[in-house]
Amino acid sequence: MSENKTQAFDIKKAAESKIANVDFENLAFGNIFTDHMLYCDYKDGEWGTPVICPYAPIEMDPSSRVFHYGQAIFEGMKAYKDEQDDIWLFRPDENFIRFNKSATRLAMPEVPEEVFMEGLKQLINIDKEWVRKGKGNSLYLRPFMIATGHGVIAAPSAQYRFMIILSPAKSYYTGEVKVLIAEHFSRAANGGIGAAKAAGNYSAQFYPTRLANQQGYQQVIWTDDATHTKLEEAGTMNVFFRINDTLYTAPTSERILDGVTRKSIIDLAKREGINVEVRSVLVDELLAAAKDGSLKEMFGAGTAAVVNPIVGFSYQDTYYELPKQDKPLSLEIKDKLTNIQYKLAEDTFGWTVKI
Ligand SMILES: *Cc1c(COP(=O)(O)O)cnc(C)c1O
Phi/psi of residue 18, nearest 5 degrees:
-90, 0
**Rounded CA separation 238/231 (Å):** 10
Average pLDDT over residues 308-315: 97
**Would you list the DSSP string of 124-170?**
HHHTGGGS-BSTTEEEEEEEEEEE---S--SS--S-EEEEEEEEEEE
The CA-based dihedral angle spanning residues 251, 262, 242, 220, taken in that order and rounded to the nearest 10 degrees: -80
Q: What is the Å distance from ligand 1's center to 292 Cα?
A: 31
Say whether pLDDT at 35 is over 90. yes
Q: Which atom of ligand 1 is nearest to the CA of 235?
A: 13
Asked if residue 74 lies in contact with residue 193, where contact means CB atoms within 8 angstroms, the answer is no
Q: What is the pLDDT of residue 9?
A: 96
Where does ligand 1 bind, in terms of residues with CB under 6 Å? Answer: 76, 197, 233, 236-238, 257, 259-262, 302-303
What's the whole-number mean pLDDT along residues 87-101? 98
Residue 300, φ and ψ in degrees, nearest 5 = -90, 155
- Ligand 1 centroid to Cα of residue 50, in Å, is 27
Q: Tell me what percent of the residues of the chain surpass a pLDDT of 90.
A: 95
Looking at the predicted structure, is the pLDDT value of residue 271 above 50? yes
The average pLDDT across 122-146 equals: 97
**Is 127's pLDDT higher than 50?**
yes
pLDDT band at 5 (very low <50, low <70, confident <90, very high): very low
Distance 19 CA to ligand 1 centre (A): 29
Distance CA 136, CA 177 (A): 19
Give the mean model confidence (pLDDT) for residues 63-78. Answer: 98
Give the pLDDT score at 171.
83
Test site for ligand 1: of 193, 267, 303, most ligand atoms within 8 A of the Cβ: 303
pLDDT at 2 over 70: no
Q: Is the confidence at residue 123, as pLDDT, over 50?
A: yes
CA–centroid distance, residue 257 to ligand 1 (Å): 6
> Which of 202, 223, 236, 267 best tests ligand 1's pocket when mutated (most atoms within 8 Å of CB)?
236
Nearest Cα neighbor of 149 from 71, 213, 216, 64 is 64
Task: Indicate the pTM of the whole model.
Answer: 0.95
What would the DSSP string read from start to end of 294-333? -EEEEEEEETTTEEEEEEEEEETTEEEEPPP-SS-HHHHH
Domains of the chain: 10-169 (3.30.470.10), 178-341 (3.20.10.10)
Render pLDDT for 207-264 as a digit per residue (tens, 0 to 9): 999 999 999 999 999 999 999 999 999 999 999 999 999 999 999 999 999 999 999 9
Find the 3 Cα to ligand 1 centroid distance in Å. Answer: 35
288: left (phi over 0), alpha (psi -120 to 50) or beta: alpha
With a cut of 50, say whether residue 79 has pLDDT above it. yes
Confidence tier at 8 by pLDDT (50, 70, 90): confident
Buried/exposed code over 276-305 (b: 16+ C-beta within 10 A; e: otherwise): beeebbebebbbebbeeeebbbbbbbbbbb
pLDDT-derived band of residue 152, with 50, 70 and 90 as boundaries?
A: very high
The answer on pLDDT for 4 being more than 50 is no
User: What's residue 7's pLDDT?
Assistant: 53
Amino acid identity of 45?
G
Supply the mean pLDDT for the chain. 96
Strand partners, 80: 88
The yes-or-no verdict on residue 133 having pLDDT over 80 is yes
What 3-state DSSP class applies to 30? coil
From residue 40, alpha-carbon distances to 94, 108, 134 in Å are: 21, 14, 32
Residues forming beta bridges with residue 222, ordered by sequence position: 233
- Examine the pLDDT at 174 and tell me if it is beyond 90: no
Work out the pLDDT band at 1, boundaries 50, 70, 90. very low
Ligand 1 centroid from CA 263, angstroms: 11
Cα–Cα distances in angstroms (integers) from residue 341 to residues 240, 252, 258, in the given order: 20, 24, 19
